Amino acid sequence: MGWKSKGFEANSKSTVTKKWTLLLCIGCFCAGMLFSDRIWNVPEAEDKAIAQAMGVKDERLKLISEGCDPIRMDMEHEPKDILGEVSRTHNAIQTLDKTISNLEMELAATRAVQESIINGSPISGDLKIPEASGKRKYLMVVGINTAFSSRKRRDSVRATWMPQGEERKKLEEEKGIIMRFVIGHSATSGGILDRAIEAEDQKHGDFLRLEHVEGYLELSAKTKSYFATASALWDADFYVKVDDDVHVNIATLGATLARHRTKPRVYIGCMKSGPVLAQKGVRYHEPEYWKFGEEGNKYFRHATGQLYAISKDLASYISINQHVLHKYANEDVSLGSWFIGLDVEHIDDRSLCCGTADCEWKAQAGNVCVASFDWTCSGICKSVERMRDVHRRCGEDKNALWTAAF
């Protein structure tokens, strides 16, 4: 009994040992299979990575041999790309500046309309809020400065160098030239003087009414108002101011201005530098003479007031800054002072101020004058009586305007 029990115990231990041995063998076999799979897979992955790296290297060597190194090309093209970007940025800034300038001009016109509505002043048919800028590009706007008492002067101009009716409309459509008599309002708005101008305008349709009270001592303010209003109403290359006692050859004026079309800021006229008159009671007295230095000093160069022209940018500048531009006693001096300190090209063209005794022989010699008047009268002396004669002697060919190409 004792022996049998011992034998049984020995057999049990042997059975357990065999089972554990079998399990251990199976576990070792599985572990060996797993380990062998990893051993063979890793080199395969590494071979692929090495092959890819070698392929990239070979491709890069090929590109370099052909002169197409991507890194080098990027480095070479980088300065050109920077310059191109700078150029595009500069162009974008210029476009933005022009857009802002156009918006400011439209805003100035809108303010003028609003002020007239608030003040209860009559609004000219021409003075409307612009719906969109740039509808039509004109060569020039010619504003003929006139007064309430100058009806006969206006008629003499209409009968000579200013086209009328359908011809004036044709001039606008075909040649891009706007022509208007420029006048403001009387101190008593809607009075007899204003009604007379309104009746004349209904007959001829050739007025530009300004939100301005007329007066000889207010010519500088009128000049500002004219340029601001004209630049808001018409998109033109040039804006011209001329007095109603001056003879003008429109075709010659257009050809003269067209030569300066590519210049951004030009101020064209007969440039002068007269004395600053400090003595009271004399014509052209300058109350602010002390601003120009000692007595006997001269003004800075500026165009004589009978006729001058400015480019679009300068008219826009006046429109935008009209509320802060200083007014001197003489409007031609005021205009010249507004351009001091600006990058403006002054063009002295003596064909804009021919004498009535000189214009005839100059025309015969083929040098037709743009404008003619008498210096002694600051215009044509007795212009109502003499305008037709001056036009006959000094006027350009009748067909010059319609055959001209500006």
CB 379 within 8 A of CB 307: no
Tell me the mean pLDDT in the region 24-44: 58
Closest CA to 133 of 97, 174, 87, 102: 102
Note the pLDDT tens digit of each residue in 370-385.
Answer: 999 999 999 999 999 9
Instruction: Please tell me which residue, 111 or 9, carries the higher pLDDT value.
Output: 111
Q: Which residue has the higher pLDDT, 31 or 24?
A: 24
Element (H, E) at 24: helix 2-65
- Span 71-82, average pLDDT: 55
Confidence label for 267 from pLDDT (cuts 50, 70 and 90): very high
Listed range (75-84, 203-212, 354-363) with the worst mean pLDDT: 75-84
Categorize the per-residue pLDDT at 354 as very low, low, confident or very high, splitting at 50, 70 and 90: very high
What is 387-402 written as a DSSP string? HHHHHHHHPPPTTHHH
pLDDT at 58 over 80: no
What residue has token string 């064909």? 351
Q: Which of 124-138, 259-273, 341-355 has the lowest mean pLDDT?
A: 124-138
pTM: 0.68
Q: What is the DSSP letter of 217?
A: G
Mean pLDDT of 197-218: 94
| CA 280 vs CA 157, 235, 283: distances in Å | 34, 42, 9
Residue 172: per-residue pLDDT: 97
**pLDDT tens sequence across 78-111:** 555 676 676 677 666 666 665 665 566 556 555 5
pLDDT at 282: 79
Give me 165's structure tokens.
């009716």
Q: Which region among 107-111, 339-343, 347-351 has the lowest average model confidence (pLDDT)?
A: 107-111
In this prediction, residue 189 has a pLDDT band, given cuts at 50, 70 and 90, of confident
Q: What is the pLDDT of the chain when averaged over all its residues?
A: 81
For the record, the structure tokens of 59 come out as: 């491709």
- Name which residue leads in pLDDT, 77 or 137: 137
Asked if pLDDT for residue 118 goes beyond 80, the answer is: no
Q: Which residues contact 301 (CB under 8 A, 6 or more apart)?
A: 271, 272, 273, 336, 346
